[in-house]
């Protein structure tokens, strides 16, 4: 069964460093998302992406964050200059079509900023 994959599973970085989190969505899906969960808090929406552009973003998704679909398969989240409070589990999700269809989640990347 097709699934969303994410790499790396864990990443440790120093404050101020750039990180790129990678996702491979399900191949025939058109809508892509990033969510994150800070330890002990709710999963929260960051950004959605469709037709090679951002369709929605939350207040969290400031200028330090960017997303890209560099080729036909990968979907990346870049954090330009990480802060301690960026430490979280980052989930990628994808959905096939518009409307209420299921968003399929990857296993997450746990990011620790020291």
| Smallest distance from other proteins to CB 17, Å | 25
Question: In terms of CB distance, is 87 or 94 closer to other proteins?
Answer: 94
Is 4 among the residues that bind other proteins (CB under 8 A)?
yes
Q: How many CB atoms lie under 10 A from the CB of residue 50?
A: 15
| Dist. CA 86–CA 99, nearest whole Å | 30
| Smallest distance from other proteins to CB 71, Å | 22
| Span of 13-21, 51-59, 63-71, 74-82 interacting with other proteins by CB under 8 A | 51-59
Whether 62 and 6 have beta carbons less than 8 Å apart is answered as: no
Is 76 among the residues that bind other proteins (CB under 8 A)?
no
Q: Residue 27: in which H helix or E strand, if any?
A: none
Pairing of strands 10-13, 109-113: parallel
Question: In terms of CB distance, is 18 or 56 closer to other proteins?
Answer: 56
| Dist. CA 108–CA 87, nearest whole Å | 13
Whether 43 and 22 have beta carbons less than 8 Å apart is answered as: no
Q: Which of 27, 42, 52, 70 touches other proteins (CB under 8 A)?
A: 42
**Residues engaged in binding other proteins (CB under 8 A):** 3-4, 31, 33, 35, 41-45, 48, 55-56, 58, 91, 95, 98, 100-108
């Amino acid at each position: 069964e097709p699934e969303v994959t994410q790499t790396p599973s864990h990443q440790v970085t120093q404050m101020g460093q750039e990180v790129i989190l990678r996702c491979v969505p399900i191949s025939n899906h058109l809508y892509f998302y990033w969510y994150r969960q800070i330890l002990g808090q709710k999963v929260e929406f960051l950004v959605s992406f469709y037709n090679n552009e951002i369709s929605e973003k939350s207040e969290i998704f400031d200028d330090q964050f960017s997303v890209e679909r560099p080729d036909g398969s990968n979907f990346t989240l870049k954090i330009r200059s990480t802060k301690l409070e960026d430490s979280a589990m980052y989930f990628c999700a994808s959905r096939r079509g518009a409307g209420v269809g299921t968003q399929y989640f990857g296993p997450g990347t746990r990011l620790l900023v020291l």
